[in-house]
Amino acid sequence: MSHAATVERNTGIVGRLSDVLIARPKLLTLLLLLPPLLWIGIVYIGSLFALLLQSFYSLDYFSGLVVREFTLSTYAQLLDEANVQIILRTVAMASLVTIACAIIAFPIAYYAARYTRGWTKALFYLAVMMPLWSSYLVKIYAWKLILAKEGILTWLAETVHLSWLINGILAVPIIGGPSLSFSYVGTFLVFVYVWIPYMILPIQAALERVPANYIEASADLGAHPRQTFRTVILPLALPGIIAGSIFTFSLTLGDYIVPTIVGNSRLFIGQAVYTLQGTAGDVPLAAAFTVVPMLIMAIYLWMAKRMGAFDVL
């Protein structure tokens, strides 16, 4: 068979295949989506299913082996006082970080949405996203040095004669410690710094959608700025706040690196999972612990969807 005949035959096969795919756009879409769907189904959902399955097993503490028999005893261990404290501690930290991020991010996002144009808006996006370009571990270790007893923050406090304020904070039971880098206060500050870009951008996107004439109409009707904020701006920006809170809350809920490097010896959920599946070798309890944030986030996402948060993502 000549080369020209071979090319013609191949072109004919490709042509017929193209005609079939053009005539059936749904089939083309299915073929394009099949590889990533298989990847998600096998690797992601499959691993989650395996994790969930492990949580229904138990550990034989005498032999150290996993007993592969269905039981709810592992979930019952989550109700032990120590484990309940870990869950409550993590949820409390995630909630406080989310609230602090929203309070700090809102004025920044409002200014960017209302008063930045052109190159100033580009500069805003650059300033918000630039911290995300640097190494996660480098940022945390940098904050550990900043918050250390001999760090720049302590030196600055001594320079402006505010050492008493830091010492007073560190003396508070539960949240205090020997230094900011070994306290819940330090953990909280680092969490806020790391996750705040994820709160600024959704709020800014939501505020961009608030028509300026709504604010002008409110002022024309005699509303005080605080009343305009409470009745016009905040309700319209609420989906953006909730969308940002999805990121900050979930990321704080599952993080184990920040509290390991900056914080005290009390565990968060992420640290508990890391310790149980590593040093302790209790994979079923570690799997049961991972189900807790998944359930919390499932409820949270359901509530967020009902409030329209996904519209600004």
Residue 48 domain boundaries: 3-54
Q: Average pLDDT, stretch 37-42?
A: 82
Mind listing the pLDDT tens digit for each residue in 48-87? 888 888 888 888 877 777 888 888 888 888 888 989 999 9
In whole angstroms, what is the distance from residue 180 CA to residue 264 CA? 10
Do residue 10 and residue 104 come from a single domain? no
User: Could you tell me if residue 260 is inside a domain?
Assistant: yes
**In this structure, what is the dihedral angle of CA atoms 132, 138, 144, 150, given to the nearest 10 degrees?**
-120
Do 200 and 245 sit in the same domain of this protein? Answer: yes
Model confidence at 11, pLDDT cuts 50, 70, 90, reads low
Shared domain for 89 and 196, answered yes or no, is yes
Is residue 173 in a domain?
A: yes
Q: Tell me if 170 sits within 8 A of 183, measured CB to CB.
A: yes
Closest alpha carbon to 204 in 256, 128, 308, 297: 128
Same domain, 202 and 276: yes
Residue 63 lies in a domain: no
Q: Does a structural domain hold residue 64?
A: no
Number of compact structural domains in the chain: 2
Is 282 contained in some domain? Answer: yes
Say what percent of the chain tops pLDDT 90: 18
Terminal CA-CA length for the chain: 57
120 in the same domain as 17: no
Q: Report if residue 70 sits inside a domain.
A: no
Comparing 13 with 11, which gets the higher pLDDT? 13
Q: Is residue 10 predicted with pLDDT exceeding 50?
A: no
139 and 10 fall within a common domain: no
- In-domain check, residue 71: no
Q: Are residues 189 and 155 in the same domain?
A: yes
Say yes or no: 167 and 42 in one domain: no
Do 20 and 85 have their domain in common? Answer: no
pTM value? Answer: 0.82
For residue 269, pLDDT over 70 is answered with: yes
pLDDT at 150 over 90: no
State the average pLDDT over residues 180-187: 89
Q: Please state, in angstroms and rounded to a whole number, the distance separating the CA atoms of residues 297 and 252.
A: 12
Asked if residue 8 and residue 84 are part of one domain, the reply reads no
pLDDT at residue 1 above 80? no
As a whole number, the mean pLDDT across the chain is: 84
Judge if 9 and 94 occupy the same domain.
Answer: no
Evaluate whether residue 68 is within a structural domain: no
Mean pLDDT calculated for residue range 187-208: 91
Cα 281 off chain centre by = 27
- 150 and 280 in a single domain? The answer is yes
101-138 burial code (b ≥16 CB/10 A, e <16): bbeebbebbbebbeeeeeeeeeebeeebeeeeeeeeee
The predicted pLDDT at position 5 comes to: 46
The span from the CA of 188 to the CA of 175, in Å, is 10
Which of 132-146, 249-263, 276-290 is predicted least confidently?
A: 276-290
- Supply the CATH number for residue 101's domain: 1.10.3720.10
